[in-house]
Amino acid sequence: MNFTKIKQIREIAILGFIILLGIPGVKAQEAITLDKALQIAETGSPDLQLSRLNLERFQKNLEAQRAAMKSHFSFDVVPLNYSNNRRFDNRVSQWYTNENLETNARFLVSQPIAFSDGTISLSNEFGWQSSNSSASEIKSQVFFNNLYLNLNQPLFTYNRIELQLKTLELSYENANISYAIQRLNLEKNVTQFFYNVYMAQMNLSIAKEEVANTQKSYDIIVNKVDAGLAAKEELYQAELNLATSKSSLQNSGVTFENAKDQLKLYLGMDLFEDIMILADVSANPVPVNLDTAINSGLSSRMELRQREINVETSEFDLIQTKSLNEFKGALNLRLGVTGDNKNLGQIFDTPTNSPSIALSFNIPLFDWGEKKARIAAQKATIQSQQLNYSEEKKQIIISIRQVYRNLQNQLNQIDIAKQNEKNAQLTYEINLERYQNGDLTSMDLNLFQTQLTSKQISYAQSLINYKIELLNLKIQTLYDFEKGKKIMPAELYLNEQNK
């Protein structure tokens, strides 16, 4: 396609901004291209920063859970524990006073068992104790040491450690997907804001050109009125046309500044920094195969994986729901060696073995149907999530078809807009010559000027609409038809993590 006129308008706008840069007192502007805008948004966009922080939160939670599955070491110290209590001895029906002074320290190693949801721990307590009682003349002062190996194992229930880890892994994966989707949406939004500024910048340039043309026609009618070749009514209309053109120029300037503010806000730029847009809106047709687009979307769209995660998470919730009022047991096994002596080196001269075993069961009898109802409710939730997955696939197909049709339609709109712009340009030039020869009124010429402005803007907008729809197809299918290759979803966040 030939986009000569649009390129000329763009070059005029760029030249005008470059000239402004050289005028003393005019603040320098930063030229922003679409690629540069995307680079700025990668680090400055508030939306992407929030998504990145959310991703980091789930990542740290997963790291914390994995760390919690390793051995825990603790050391408890009691430097001083003194008590003096009045007690009653039921055996002899007599009150007595017990005074006790103790200092001790305990070292504990605890290891969760992931595959069985149990916990094994090793504990060693060492200390010194002094005790005496008014009921006896014997005063005890001994060193003691208690060494225990303890196993606590839940029975007949689900593995809570494993389920919690899998839940956090799915949450982290889901956060990764959300971050990747946010990056894709960022590209789309930045492109939309960028071209909004470009169109506002172009409208401003066209408005300046319109004012210049209107000023030219105004000067012509002034000369004709002064020479008595035209009525004063023509001058009044020309003045009105010139005032209207200047008002339109002012409105275009306001729209341009507002659009720049919106772009800078979304990119996370300094709002007081002045920018100008450098864009290439040429849109060469890109061949698109609908079957390839649909197949790529169904195999790559990350929203489908999010729906699968929702189903898996709901199944985990069902496991927890089934544990309500469940039959379960617990096994606690302890092996220990204790020793005490008033001499430190003789603590284990006469050690005492201290084994213990405890087996307990929780047997629910009747819950009035609570468990059954909650399980049924959770199963309904799972079916809902499965239905959402199925509907998401249908929605993806429909969305891709719509974008494909829009692309084909936009190509037709570009051809029509191009021809309309060309015809409007020729029509304006012909009627401008008629106006100069006195065969056309200034009101009629203004109508042709307005028509030309409208067609120029429509042509540029049709080109931009095509580029945005092509980007939308890329997001919908995760396939870059311009480069002819698929976009791997993992690349959207793995590159960020490797920075």
Mean pLDDT of the chain: 85
State how many domains the chain has. Answer: 2
Based on the fold, state whether residues 36 and 105 are members of the same structural domain.
no
pLDDT over 90 for what percent of the chain?
A: 42
Binned at pLDDT 50, 70 and 90, residue 367 comes out as confident
Binned at pLDDT 50, 70 and 90, residue 20 comes out as very low
Residue 190 clears pLDDT 60, i.e. is over it? yes
Is there a domain that residue 343 lies in? Answer: yes
Is there a domain that residue 100 lies in? Answer: yes
From residue 424, how far is each of 98, 415, 434, 448 by CA, in Å?
110, 14, 15, 7
From residue 373, how far is each of 367, 370, 381 by CA, in Å?
11, 5, 13
Bigger pLDDT: 425 vs 213: 425
Is there a domain that residue 489 lies in? Answer: yes
Give the Cα separation of 139 and 105 in Å (integer). 23
From residue 13, how far is each of 10, 20, 446, 457 by CA, in Å?
5, 11, 22, 14
pLDDT at 360: 93
CA 158 to chain CA mean position, Å: 33
Residue 274 clears pLDDT 90, i.e. is over it? no
Residues 84/98, Cβ–Cβ less than 8 Å:
yes
Residues 436/16, Cβ–Cβ less than 8 Å:
no
Region 168-181: mean pLDDT is 90
Based on the fold, state whether residues 190 and 304 are members of the same structural domain.
yes
- Cβ neighbors of 90 (< 8 A, separation 6 or more) are none
Residue 170 clears pLDDT 70, i.e. is over it? yes
Residues 374/186, Cβ–Cβ less than 8 Å:
no
Which of 88-102, 267-281, 353-367: highest mean pLDDT? 353-367
Based on the fold, state whether residues 331 and 469 are members of the same structural domain.
no
Extended strands (E) in 293-367: 328-341, 352-353, 356-362
Is there a domain that residue 84 lies in? Answer: yes
* Helix 370-436 vs helix 4-21: crossing angle, to nearest 10: 90
Based on the fold, state whether residues 339 and 486 are members of the same structural domain.
no
Which of 43-57, 226-240, 264-278, 394-408: highest mean pLDDT? 394-408
Based on the fold, state whether residues 190 and 273 are members of the same structural domain.
yes
Is there a domain that residue 320 lies in? Answer: no
Residues 316/163, Cβ–Cβ less than 8 Å:
yes
pLDDT at 217: 78
Residue 19 clears pLDDT 80, i.e. is over it? no
Specify the CATH number for the domain of residue 182: 1.20.1600.10
Based on the fold, state whether residues 257 and 210 are members of the same structural domain.
yes
Instruction: Enumerate the β-bridge partners of residue 140.
Output: 131
Residues 307/414, Cβ–Cβ less than 8 Å:
no
Binned at pLDDT 50, 70 and 90, residue 121 comes out as very high
Based on the fold, state whether residues 201 and 258 are members of the same structural domain.
yes
Q: Is 489 helix (H, G, I), strand (E, B) or coil?
A: coil
pLDDT at 50: 87
Residue 145 clears pLDDT 80, i.e. is over it? yes
Give the Cα separation of 478 and 228 in Å (integer). 69
Cα–Cα nearest to 198, from 285, 283, 275: 275
Based on the fold, state whether residues 390 and 474 are members of the same structural domain.
yes
Based on the fold, state whether residues 244 and 269 are members of the same structural domain.
yes
pLDDT at 28: 59
pLDDT at 331: 94
Based on the fold, state whether residues 25 and 53 are members of the same structural domain.
yes
Give the Cα separation of 193 and 41 in Å (integer). 12
- For residue 55, count CB atoms less than 10 angstroms from its CB and return exposed for 0-12, middle for 13-18, buried for 19 or more: buried
Region 432-454: mean pLDDT is 78
Q: What is the CA radius of gyration of the chain?
A: 40
How many CB atoms are closer than 10 A to CB 431? 19
Based on the fold, state whether residues 211 and 344 are members of the same structural domain.
no
How many CB atoms are closer than 10 A to CB 296? 21
Region 194-204: mean pLDDT is 89
Q: What is the pLDDT of residues 244-261, one digit of tens each?
A: 889 989 999 999 999 999
Give the Cα separation of 300 and 307 in Å (integer). 13
Is there a domain that residue 71 lies in? Answer: no
Region 188-199: mean pLDDT is 90
Residue 16 clears pLDDT 70, i.e. is over it? no
Range of the domain at 304: 4-61+165-311+384-497
Is there a domain that residue 70 lies in? Answer: no
Is there a domain that residue 368 lies in? Answer: no
pTM: 0.75
Residue 13 clears pLDDT 60, i.e. is over it? no
Which of 53-67, 218-232, 323-337, 382-396 bottoms out in mean pLDDT, i.e. has the lowest? 218-232
Give the Cα separation of 151 and 334 in Å (integer). 6
Cα–Cα nearest to 173, from 78, 61, 249: 61
Instruction: Output the six-digit token pair for 476.
Output: 């919908």
Based on the fold, state whether residues 200 and 271 are members of the same structural domain.
yes
> DSSP secondary-structure letter at 230?
S
Region 349-376: mean pLDDT is 90
Give the Cα separation of 294 and 396 in Å (integer). 8
